[in-house]
Structures are given as structure tokens and as C-alpha cells.
Structure 1
Amino acid sequence: MSNELEAFIEYITVTKALSQKSVAAYKSDLLFFEEKLQKPLIELDTKLLFTALEAYDNKRTLNRKLSSINAFFDFCYKSQFLEEKNKIRLSKIPKLLPKFLSYEDIQNGLALIDRSTWIGLRDYALILFLYASGARISEALELGRSDIEGEWLHIRHAKGDKERIVPLAAVAEKAIEAYLQASGFETEHLWCNYRGGKLSRISAYKITQKYLGVSPHVLRHSYATSLIRGGADLRVVQELLGHASLLTTQIYTHIQKQDLKDTVNVYHPITKEQL
């Protein structure tokens, strides 16, 4: 690792106090370029960088790596390692509507679960919980039993190490109580595997895939979509989801606009006129 890169990693770790995951992502991205091209990153020109990026067809992956490079170059310029500030233009990504399920879809999936066993009660409770809280699966799996305080959920291991408190629907709380009582495990983990240990991410994925045919993250999108369609304020949804920026939450306004368009098409008489 070059001296400049080492200084950058120390800067984002200590001064910027980024999370361990963010630091690891930056380090992985930037080391990739130094190791692939066998030169200090600060000596790479734009042509060499794009040569290294040719293997990436996915625009989101490409932009993440370019963002890491730009952050590094910005640090080097401010630290006077570079005389000129380099910045590489990011690839434009179309705003895609996130996949989501309707409440009816989720109810249909829940109806498939055999709740005569504690495993079935757990699967039922987990799906209800994810839809009722909008929690990321990484946040959900780190929860302890004490993090549910009545009708409130305390998410302590949120993205960016930012805690938040969100209301939890009574039906989800009741399902969780039934699952915990039936499991019989004496553990602080909220979501347990069949041995009583902490449920893994892959196991959680298998549960939602089995009954709903989607990943756990789709339930987070479904939560946000239901709120927006119900008329919730965008900034309230931002707070509930734990988004650092309102720009991240604004992708759900596409759903609202589509609902408005559908309403006009159904109810306005002029849309029935033939040209």
C-alpha cells in the first residue's frame, strides 16, 4: 500500500470516523487499482484508471469505485500531495423503481407458513417484522430482545452507526412474542437459528425467498412504498428508514407519481376521448 493511500485510510478512519464497513470498502476499491496496475494510486492517470475499469459493466459497481477514487484524489489535493484536483465523471444511472410487494402479496405469503412449530412462528414473525419496521436485514439480525420496548423498536446497529427509534405495529409485536415463547431459548438475540444462535443473513434470505420469492430488502421497499401510498410525508419516511439524505428517499416519489397518473386515467373523462 502506498504512503498516500495509507494516509487516506487513516484519515477516513480517524478524522472522518467512517464505519468499519465503509473503510473496508474504500480500502478494497483503492487497493484493487494499485495492485492491478502495480503503481501508487497517486501516479495513475485517467487512461490507466479506465483501462482497469473496463471489466465492470454494472454502472453501480463502476460508480462506487469511481467515487472511491475521487474521494482519494480530493484528499490528496487538500493534503497537498497533488497540485491539481482530479475528478472523474461518474456514469449516469437511470433511476429505477425499487421492487416492492403489496400488502396482499405479503398476506398471501404469510398464509403459506405452518405456525404449528416455533420455526414457523419465527418465519412468520420475521416477515411481519421486516414489513412493519422497514429495518434493513443487517439491522434486524443485530437486534436483541431488549431492543423492543413496548410499541417501539430501538435500532442500535444502523447503517453509518446512527441509532433510530421507530414504531412497531402491534400485530408484529404479538407475532414476535409468540415466536419467542415457543422457541424456549434463553438468549439475548431476537432472531435465532434452530440451535438458538443468531440467525444468519443467508438464512433470513432463504425465509423470505421461500414464502415471498424476494430478498429481505424488498420488504424494506414495500414498507416505504406502503407509507408513501398512504400519504406519509417524505421526510417522515426518511427518518423511519434512517436515510442520511432525502435524495435517497425521493426514489419512492416515482410510486406516488404513478399512482396520481393511474387515478387520472381511471377517473378523468377526457382520458376516454378518442383523438
Structure 2
Amino acid sequence: MSRYLEAFLEYLLVNKGVSKNTYEAYKRDLIQFEEFIGKPIIQADTSDVIRFLSQIENKRSLNRKLSSINSFFDFAYKRNMVDEKLKIKQAKIPKSLPKFLTKDEILKAVDWINYQENSWFELRDKALILFLYATGLRISEALNVKISDIEDGWVKVTMAKGEKQRVVPIADVALKAIEEYLHKRPCMSEWLFVNKNCDKLSRISAFKITKKYLNVSPHVLRHSFATALVLGGADLRVVQELLGHASLNTTQIYTHIQKENLKDTVLKYHPLEDLE
């Protein structure tokens, strides 16, 4: 437990005089959050809070933990421990937040893949994970990609929902991983991702791969792709196009992330925010 959290808990007991049950609830929620982000709570940012809340399915528990976090940062702001008040209003939290992973979490997991035996299976697993994160494709779309569908750094998606077609750019790091995998692959196939028999990789096998290295389903990488774009400032309509959503309403689940990111940017950089 960090000294900042200890100071807040002492404040609750001494200054606020909260009940034992309330004190224990705050303590439990905030210790859980601090352990989740792996750093002192005072260093948390909006994306840390959203990532933490996205793991919680019960809305009542989610709002209670959010209230604990907001109370801590209100305390820290009033005592000049932080320059900006980190606060997310409960009304802006949707009924279900998409679970996502950060870039560092994904790359750290990929680094665990064992290359000592130079197995083409491991190269395939790395390529699949990076491909899903780099493109945001549904797993059904990714498994239907043929080698010929990739050209000049773009992938043509031909099996999207509603039989639509779209093209999505692929990050260089994912392209490099695909090249390494295809170079070592001992069999010929039109499909990009294959199993040991050189048949198209199944959804079950893809799930086992992402579960093994990331402990999530392939769909979480799609959410991670979209979340990374929105946090980076991408327009929701661009994200909609890349994800292949028929309606912008489907993409609206990421609106809360975009609004908080824009708000943080204004508070940090707008000249009027320096005036008292």
C-alpha cells in the first residue's frame, strides 16, 4: 500500500469519522485498484481507471469502486498531491465496458513466446496476436484471410458481417511477424493462419492461443485495437469504418473513453486552465 493511500485512509478515520464497514470498503477497493495498475495510486490516469473498471461485470460493484477512486482523487487534489483532478462520473459509465489490454500488456505477453526451438507454431502464434491487435478484425474475419488478401501493407477483409468488404492497414511490426512466420512455415496453403495439417486454423485453436499468452479471448484484442485508437484521438467514424460496424451506434460504446481523453487534453493544454 502506498503512502498516499495510507494518508487517505487515515483521513477517513480521523477527519471524516466513517464507519468501520465504510472504511473497509474504501480500503479494499483502493488496494485492489493500486495492485491492479502496479504502481502508486497517485500515478493513475484515466485509462488506468477505465481498464480497471472494464474487468468488473456487476454494475453496483463497478460504481462503488468508482466512487472510492473518485473520493481518493478528490482528497489528493484538495491537498495538492496532484495537479489535476482525475474524475469519471458514474452517469458516463455504460452498462457494460469492453475489456481491453494495453500495448505494453500485449507486447509483454508476446515476448514470453519461446523462440529457442524456432518453432513455426510459436511464430504463428505471435503473428496471429499482433495481427489481431494491429487490425481489429473479428476472429472469424482473421481466420478467413488468405495470403493473397495482404498487399502493400493492407488486408482485404472479405468475410465481414453482412457480407461487406473493407480494407484495413496493418502495422509494420505485425507484417514483419507474418513474414517471419510464413518463411518458417513448412507447408503450402492459401490461408494465412493454419494448423499442423496446413488446414485453416479453427476458432477453438485461435482461442487457445490468445488464452495461453494473454488469458483473454481473441475478441478482447479487437476491443484493445479500438480503445487504443480512441485514446489516441481517432474519430469514432474512422474507428467505425476500420471495425466494420454497420452503424455508428455500435461504436458508441467507446464514446466514454473518447470524452474522458478529450477532457484530459483540454485540462492539460488549454491556456485558460492555468488561470485561477
| Runs of 4+ residues deviating >3 angstroms | 258-268
- 1:215 is aligned, of 207, 214, 217, to 217
Say whether the 8 Å CA contact 1:155–1:164 is kept in structure 2.
Answer: yes
Amino acid at match of 1:95: K
Q: CA deviation at 1:262?
A: 6.0
TM-aligned CA distance change 1:262 to 1:96, over 3 Å? farther
Deviation at 1:254, TM superposition (A): 1.2
- Counterpart amino acid of residue 218 in structure 2: P
Quick check: 1:145–1:188 contact (8 Å CA) kept in 2? yes
2:258 matched to which residue of 1? 256
- Tell me what 1:110 maps to: 110
Give the TM-score taking structure 2 as reference length: 0.60
Which protein shows a greater Rg?
1
Contact 1:97 1:255 in 2 (8 A): no
Cα displacement (A) at 1:184: 2.0
Aligned counterparts, 1:36-47, within 5 A: none
1:95 aligns with 2:87: no
State yes or no: 1:246 paired with 2:248. Answer: yes
Query: What does residue range 46-61 of structure 1 map to in structure 2 within 5 Å?
Result: none
Distance, in Å, in 1 between the alignment partners of 2:183 and 2:97 is 39
Displacement after TM superposition at 1:95 (Å): 3.2
**Corresponding residue number in structure 1 for 2:186:** 184
Q: Deviations over 1:106-143 (max 9, x none)?
A: 01110111132100100000000000000000001111
Shift of 1:183: 0.9
Q: CA deviation at 1:258?
A: 3.5
Paired with 1:244 and 1:95, the residues of 2 have a C-alpha distance of 21
| Amino acid paired to 2:177 | A
Q: How does 1:1-275 map to 2 (within 5 A)?
A: 95-115=95-115, 116-260=118-262
Q: Is the 8 A contact 1:121 1:178 kept in 2?
A: yes
Aligned pairs, number = 176
Q: Distance in 1 between matches of 2:242 and 2:259?
A: 21
Q: What percentage of aligned pairs have identical amino acids?
A: 63
TM-score normalised to structure 1 length? 0.60
Displacement of 1:171 in angstroms is: 1.2
CA distance in 2 between partners of 1:203 and 1:181 (Å): 21
How many angstroms apart in 2 are the aligned matches of 1:110 and 1:258? 29
1:114 counterpart letter in structure 2: N
Rounded Cα–Cα distance in structure 2 between residues aligned with 1:262 and 1:214: 29
Deviation at 1:266, TM superposition (A): 8.6
Contact 1:158 1:242 (8 Å CA) reproduced: yes
Task: Give the Cα–Cα distance (whole angstroms) in 1 for the partners of residues 268 and 156 of structure 2.
Answer: 42
- Aligned CA RMSD, in angstroms, stands at 2.0
CA contact (8 A) 1:97 1:254 kept: no
Counterpart position of 1:56: none
Q: How much has 1:162 moved relative to structure 2?
A: 0.2
Distance 1:162 1:261 in 2: 35
Gaps of 5+ in 1: 1-93, 269-275
Q: Which runs of 5+ in 2 are unaligned?
A: 1-93, 271-276
